[in-house]
Amino acid sequence: MNAKPSIAILGGTGDLGSGLAKCWLAAGYDVVIGSRSAEKAQAFAKELGGKARGDSNVGAARAADVVVVAVPFASHEATLREVKDAVQGKIVVDAAVPLVPPKVSVVQLPAEGSAAQIAQNLLGEGVRVVSAFHNVGAKKLHAGDRADCDVLVFGNDKEAREIVIALANEVATCGVDGGVLANSAAAEALTSVLIAINRRYKIPGAGIRITGLPAVAPQ
pLDDT digits over 58-92, tens only? 999 999 999 999 999 999 999 999 999 999 999 99
pLDDT of residue 1: 58
**What percent of the chain is predicted at pLDDT more than 90?**
92
Residues 116-147 pLDDT 10s = 999 999 999 999 999 999 999 998 899 888 89
Among 166, 168, 165, 115, which residue's Cα sits nearest to residue 140?
Answer: 168
Distance of CA 56 to the CA centre of its chain: 18
Residue 9 CA neighbour count, 13 Å, CB half:
31
| Cβ-Cβ contacts under 8 Å for 74 (sequence gap 6 or more) | none
What is the pLDDT averaged over residues 180-192?
A: 98
Q: For residue 174, list its beta bridge partners.
A: 150
Confidence of residue 218 (pLDDT cuts 50, 70, 90): very low
Q: Please enumerate in sequence order all residues whose Cβ is within 8 A of that of 214, keeping only pairs 6 or more positions apart, or say none.
A: none
Query: Average pLDDT, whole number, for the chain?
Result: 95
Asked if residue 154 lies in contact with residue 135, where contact means CB atoms within 8 angstroms, the answer is no
Query: How many helices and strands, by DSSP H and E, does the chain display?
Result: 8, 8
Which amino acid is it at 141? L
Cβ atoms 70, 16 nearer than 8 A:
yes
Residue 14, C-beta contacts closer than 8 angstroms, at least 6 positions apart = 70, 71, 72
In the chain, the domains with their CATH numbers are 7-201 (3.40.50.720)
